Amino acid sequence: MEFIDYYKIIGVAKTATSDEIKKAYRKQARKLHPDINPNDKDAQAKFQQLNEANEVLSNPEKRKKYDKYGKDWEHGEEHEKHQQQRQHANAGQQQSYSGSNFSEEDFSDYFSSMFGNQGGGSRRSQVKYRGQDIQAQLQIDIKEASLTHKKEFSVNGKSIRITVPAGIEDQQTIKISDYGGPGANKGPNGDLYITFSILNNTEFKRVGNDLFFTHDLDLYTAVLGGDITISDFNQSKLKLKVAAGTQNGTKVRLKGKGFPVYKKDGQFGDLYVTYNIAIPTNLSEKETALFNELAKGTKK
């Protein structure tokens, strides 16, 4: 089995911190993601290797084993334990059967057992090993995240179609059971963990299930009050009543007009509208005169 340098794949030194690994992984994932390279098989293969490397190096325990055992990191501890048992057994046999023709063939070779080598006969145990978990990243936009929808993509040559629930959050991870790496000796497959990266190119800021939006309010409406119409996240028209004397930065809460709550049908966060009072420019002579009159009145 050829050794794969996970540090080299992600592009960091062996001494890299967890944050450095995370940052480097995200940078590489953006370049190699299948959505960016839909017909590039080489990029897709590198993306799979990148996810495999990240799955190991982002986990402190797995990284420790990888640094110690290299390519055999998944089974290193079992191998070490087996060797210790073998040494103890040999020592015991030498004491109990000194001078006998006891054979070491009674002990199965660890890796032969693991990979199903039958050369040692039926006495050799076949240990089942669970497959490796796989980490993948899926990028969607915020509009998609607001709707329950189907998404199809490929991981390790497998075509996977999942339902993405409305309200999924940025960097949220979901588990797809049995879609990870294959098990050894008829062991179970690992699981697939998908982390969502959500792009937001709208004028709405999302914080949890709430949405925040800034609306420009003309000076006259702010001073005198009146009715205005705005569009919410789904472009539905909402009529709002503005109180006379509204100050710049005033925030209005619209209950239930925010983002869908994850896996809770019919529940939504709130929409917060902040008023930004626009000061009029390029005044006409008449408007300037009127403002001067108002200014004189306030100074009396």
Q: Is 263 left (phi over 0), alpha (psi -120 to 50) or beta?
A: left
Q: Give dist(CA 169, CA 45) in Å, integer.
A: 27
> Residue 95 pLDDT more than 70?
no
> Residue 84 pLDDT more than 70?
no
For the segment 254-277, the average pLDDT, to the nearest whole number, is: 96
pLDDT, residue 229, reads 96
For the full predicted model, state whether its pTM sits above 0.95. no
Give CA 196 to chain center in angstroms.
Answer: 4
**Strand 192-199 to strand 205-207: parallel, antiparallel, or no bridges (unpaired)?**
unpaired
- 240 vs 158, higher pLDDT: 240
**Strand 210-218 to strand 226-231: parallel, antiparallel, or no bridges (unpaired)?**
unpaired
pLDDT, residue 36, reads 75
CATH code of 205-283, in short, is 2.60.260.20
Q: Give dist(CA 144, CA 47) in Å, integer.
A: 23
Record the tokens describing residue 269, joined without a space.
């966060």
The pLDDT confidence band at residue 96, using thresholds 50, 70 and 90, is very low
CATH of 128-201, one of 2.40.30.130, 3.40.50.10800, 3.40.50.720, 2.60.260.20: 2.60.260.20
> Residue 223 pLDDT more than 90?
yes
For the segment 33-60, the average pLDDT, to the nearest whole number, is: 82
Record the tokens describing residue 161, joined without a space.
């179609």
Same fold, 128-201 and 205-283: yes
Residue 138's closest CA among 102, 109, 163?
163
Report whether 69 contacts 22 (CB < 8 A).
no
For the segment 205-211, the average pLDDT, to the nearest whole number, is: 96
Q: Give dist(CA 28, CA 81) in Å, integer.
A: 37
Q: Give dist(CA 213, CA 268) in Å, integer.
A: 16
For the segment 14-26, the average pLDDT, to the nearest whole number, is: 90
How far from each other are the two terminal CA atoms of the chain, in whole angstroms?
Answer: 90
Record the tokens describing residue 23, joined without a space.
């940052």
pLDDT, residue 82, reads 57
∠ CA 29-34-35 to the nearest 5 degrees?
100
The pLDDT confidence band at residue 141, using thresholds 50, 70 and 90, is very high
pLDDT, residue 132, reads 87
Q: Give dist(CA 163, CA 151) in Å, integer.
A: 6
Report whether 115 contacts 184 (CB < 8 A).
yes
Domain residue spans of the chain: 128-201, 205-283
> What percentage of the chain has pLDDT greater than the value 90?
42
Q: What are the residues facing 163 on neighbouring strands?
A: 150
